[in-house]
Amino acid sequence: VDETKLRLARAEAADAGADNVEFRYEDVTRPAGSRGRFDLVYARFLLTHLPDPAEVVGRLVGRLEPGGVLVVEDIDCSGHFCHPDSPAFRDYVALYSAAARARGADPDIGPRLPSLLARAGLRQLGMDVVQPAGFDGEVKRIGPITLEAIGEAVVAAGLATADRLARLLDDLSRFADTEGTVLSIPRVVQAWGRRPAAGGP
């Protein structure tokens, strides 16, 4: 729902000479009308933010052609890890989870994905789990960047004061910048399923 991201994506596609790609705004929480059906629908880091992910999965399945495939990827925040232990990291994960739940979202939706797809009528289900982590490089900056991005929501929900958040961000950034520390992003669950073909199982 971010036109800025769509504009950037269109510009990147044009720069790459990809003229067979269309980017458009749609709200997955509203009926789609007659905007077409697809052989593949892919949703990444979407369902975790929604108060009724099952309803949205149903809408996405409704956009599939018979025999089409829905692929979803989403997080399991509880699977986040670091080494050595860091109180700042633990506080960040707890605040992220609490802020998400305060908005009616599910920060640990990843393991639920296969059951959501099954309940929506998909068959030939599959799943995988990936989890980028590192002891150097950009992956270690995801935590501090995310904490900074959710700061206003954390304060607005009364989960932390602005001062506490600033101290926590400093501590987490220092930990991320320390040579040899290990930081992960949340576990990422990938799940997929196929809409039965007409007359098929």
Mean pLDDT, to the nearest integer, of 44-64? Answer: 95
Q: Which amino acid is at 183?
A: L
Q: What are the CA-CA distances from residue 95 to residues 17, 126, 129, 142 (Å)?
A: 42, 31, 24, 15
Q: How many whole angstroms from its chain centre is CA 32?
A: 22
Q: What pLDDT is stored for residue 29 in this prediction?
A: 83
Q: Which amino acid is at 161?
A: T
pLDDT tens for 120-172 read 999 999 999 999 999 999 999 999 999 999 999 999 999 999 999 999 999 99
Q: What pLDDT is stored for residue 23 in this prediction?
A: 87
* Contact residues for 107 (Cβ-Cβ < 8 A; gap 6+): 48, 75, 77, 78, 96, 97, 100, 101, 186
Sorting pLDDT into bands at 50, 70 and 90, what band is 199? low
